[in-house]
Every structure is written in structure tokens, then in C-alpha cells.
Structure 1
Amino acid sequence: MKIIIGLFFLHIIKSDLVEGIVDTTVILRKRITLGCMYSGSETIVQCSWFKFNGSFEEPLCAFHNTYGKYISEKYKGRMSFVFENISSDMSITLTETSKQDIGIYFCYIALFPLGTVKKVIAVQEDDFGKIMPSSHQTFTENSTITLNFQYTLEGDVKKVTLERFTDVKMDTIVSCEKLMNSRTKATYGFDFINRILVDCSILHNITILIYQAASTDEGLYKSYFNAGSQNQTIVVNMRLKKGISPLYTVAVMYGGSLVIIIAIISIAVICVKRKWKHKSKETIPPTTSSTYNVEYQPRSGTMYGEHIYANLSELKS
């Protein structure tokens, strides 16, 4: 236990400000889940959770691949890992929450051989308000989908922020910003690294590619264009429908032809099997000839009193 506590407190450092973007914002409820899932292939060695407390990071819990888990005394009884064993999902759940739980949380994942990655999560009391979609778009599950956001006002766009809203949380997808050398920089949210591709080369026309879209990708996608005095917000309500299997698609396209083809193939297979079976019987060598004398005894009262003998040697051969 002393070893894991020592590893745990290595992350307690002075912090004058929260660097980077907030990856996820969660609305305060009596029970909340702070998600932290790593999608890479590296080996997870340890996961540590902290809460930003103005000037330092307050420890919550830690989970080590060898030494097990540790929970701070302050959070024992109302904090738990979503999965009891270390895995790619190191999310935690807080119960019996109060306003004291509002703030910024950090999830550190120590990876071998990459190093440490961090996710920033904010818990706030107020909800996100009513968000009205500009358009509705429906796609098929497990396909690569494209969402396009185009700035239509006058002005030079300097920064674009893309976010996804669901009922109780908001995820930052990417922040695209113009640099001094006229190039653009894209900073992805933690949950979207290596999952999507965003073209930020032209800030007034942003395109998102989502690979193998799943039901968890549904929601309101909000694009905020910052162009000084001429700012613009575009919201797309993205939904997914169940995909159609390739076999069903072929059947619909070619109608009864597919059924006919299957029937022909089935008949051909049956004919070949029968022919092969018949040929196998013909090639079986005859057995050694033997003589079987079978004696039939007539029933009493029959008109034939003599014995009947049958020689089956010829019949067997």
C-alpha cells in the first residue's frame, strides 16, 4: 500500500491554471459518471484521478496494474470505478453529490511506453440551455459519415470550436485556431483522438469525418465560428439508423435471381453427392462366397410334409 500511495502522490503538483481545453463538461446530478477511456493500443500501467482545488490537485483515487486500487478517505463510500479491473475504461462514478463536487477533474493515464496522457472534465451546476438545431441529418450505423459546417457571414474566421451535446454532457471535439504564419492548429478533445478527422485548413468551411459511426456518436453537433464581431453558430442534429446487411441488399437488387442461383447450386450439389455415392457402391469388392443352408420347418397341419432347403451361396454372390 505504501508503494501505491507513493506513486499516487507523484501527481500532486502546483497548478496556477488549467492548460488546454476542457474535454468533457458534465451537469451535476445526484449520481454522475466521469468518463475516461483510452482508445490506443499501449499498455495501461496506472490511472489516477484528481480534482483541481485552486492551487493544487486534490487526490481522489488511483488504480495500478500491479498494486491494485486506492481511494482517498474523503471519497470512500461514494466513489467507485466503473470497472473493478484495470482496462481501457477507467471511468469513475460519484454518488450523493453536492455543490462541493462542482469543479475541474483530471484523469491521468500512465501508458507504456508512451508516457502519461490527461483528460480534463468539468462538473457544473447549470444545464446547457435549449439548443436549437439548424438542420437534421440521418446516417447509417457502422458507416463513415461526413458533417459539414460553413461560415456564411462576412469577416475573417480566427477560431472554430466543435462540440457535441447529449442530455447530460458536452464533449469538445476539436478546436481549430489560426496561427501567426497563417497556418491552422487543430487540438482534439480526448475522446476523439484517432477516432475522427477534422479538416481545419479552411476555417470558414469545416468538415468532420466520423469512422464506423455508432449510437454513442449521436447528438447535437455545434460549430462556433469566432470572427470578431461577426460570430456564427451552426448546430446539426445527427441521428443514426440501423444498417442493412450486404446479403439483403443483393437480394433486393437482383430479386428472385439470387434464389434461383442458390436453388441451382443446391440441386447440383445433391446430384454430385448421389452420383458419388452410387459410384462408391459399384466399386465395393464382392465378399468371399459362403454356403448357407437354411432349413424351413413346416407348421403343423400343412399340406407339405417334406423339408425345404435353400442354397443362398448363389444369391449372395
Structure 2
Amino acid sequence: MTNSKIPGLYYTESSKSAVPLLSSEAHLQTVTAEPWLKISDEGLQLEGLCFDRNHNLFLCEVFGGSIFRVDLPEKKVNTVFKSEKTNPASVKIHKNGRLYISYLGDFKDTGGIIATDDDGNNPESIVSDIDTDYCVDDLVFDSKGGFYFTDFRGYSTNPLGGVYYVSPDHSKITPIIQNIAVANGIALSTDERVLWVTETNANRLHRISLKEDGVTIEPFGASIPYHFTGHEGPDSCCIDSDDNLYVAMYGQGRVLVFNKSGYPIGQILMPGRDKGHMLRSTHPAFIPGTDQLIICANDIERGGDSWLFTAKGFAKGHTSYQFQ
């Protein structure tokens, strides 16, 4: 017989969630994003949100290689070309107007970066998949025309990834930090002196203070202000004009927001996440000149569709160097 006086555990609404929030994070300022645009009826691994100078939105689909453009204000979705490289993970626009497309290759040693026209023509190798072993996931430009990129290699006990800087003339690649278990998202502060990096397979947020040369770390300047919890980990990120950092949580259907020192101050949830929907939230990006954030997510694991969602951030998005 069961003794009813024995203490026992029971499910609450929170503990029954497919992705329960930590008690320390559940009390953050929280909003739920609204649907903004369906990209596909299929579950596509959407990534790499990037607005061009006309405020049209480019993004990519990792596993199929499609590069999409959403023409605004009509929200017309166009497949503009297929990446000639395997597993594109981000699209960024250089100040010269060219698309810089990072690609993961075979997830081992055949990734890199190519530059193309906005229709995919005239490809140019920027970081070679022949001469290097990187699997490039994301990149961010500085005001000089150089850029930082993340190397998406390794796993929790085999930290092969890192962060590197490519000079403006593309002639030199300089390591910034190494020995990272899958370096993923990357963002640069408004003054270009702080580099943010997410480490997916170790669930960590890196804050790197740089000297004026952009490649030397300040004394004691590399730190880990936040440790994430849960499956699968932090993904791509962006900043707003107040230097707050927005980090998409892959497999958790949400975006966590941090202040410029790395303290969590808010979060944006994807609708349906408690029931396991739209958990693959990968990338946030601001519509230029506004405080409106666009976030991509999908329902691949449930055979569902792929959407862009929207919510407002704490401040307007930072005017990236790609628009200057």
C-alpha cells in the first residue's frame, strides 16, 4: 500500500513545459514574439538574417543551401540563388555591397567564406576551404572593412573552434581566441572594443575586450560573464544601439537579452515553445532604424513549417558598418 504521508513530487505548468525556464530567468522581463512572415511550409534551418541598404532582408537555409530575399514592405519571399558551397550559415553585406556567405562545409574541415553579387554571380573566395580547416558559421564586420568570424568545430570535450580576424585586404587571418567547443554567434560593440561570442557546445557567453588594434586582447579582457543551461545552446546574436546583446537560444525557442556587461535583462519567447514548437530559434536581427527585432525559427523536428517572428527590443538596432 502507498503511504499518502510520504512527500512526493508533482508536475507544475512550468515543469511540464518542453523547455522549462530556470527560476532565475523566469523572472526576467519577458515578452512573446508575434508571427511576422512564413518562409516555408517545410521545416527549414533558417539562419543569417541580414538587411541590405534598401532594407530588404537576406537569409539562408543551411541544409538546402537556398539564399532568400524578403522584399519589403510587401514581404515577398524570393529564392534568389543556391549557394555553390555546402551548408551556408550566414549572409552579411560588406560596405562594397557584396554578399559575404559563410559556410560550414562538411562540419569538419571544409568550410570557408565566399563573396558574391546579390544574385549569386561572380563568386570570390575570401576564406578558402582548400588552404584552411575552418567551418565558418558567422562573421561581423568592423569599420575598416575587416571582419571577425567563428569556427564551428569540436564538441564539449574536444574544443577545436575559435574566433579569427581577417584583415581588410583579406591577406591575413589572426586568431583572437581558440579552444572553443563550437564557436557560433558573434557581435561587435558599437565602439568596436568588445567582441561577443557564443560557445554552443559548452553553453557559454564570451565577452572579449580588445585593444585599439582590434586583434589584441586587453589584460584580463577575455571573460565568460554567463553560463547558459539546457539543450542545445546559444546560437547567433546581435546588438542594439545601447550595446545590449540579443542571443538566440537554439533548441529552446527564445532569445535572451544581456546588457553591455553581460547581465541578463530580458527575454523573447517563441509562441508555442512550451508545447515544443518553434524551438529552433537561430538568429535575431533588427530592422534598420527601428527597435523591431526579427527572429527566425522552425519546426523541423515536428515536421512543421518555418517562420520569422517579431518583437521590440530595448532600443533601436545598431547601425552596422555595412551600411556606412
Q: TM-score, normalised by structure 2?
A: 0.22
- Name whichever structure is richer in helix by fraction: 1
| TM-score, length-scaled by structure 1 | 0.22
Structure whose CA Rg is larger: 1
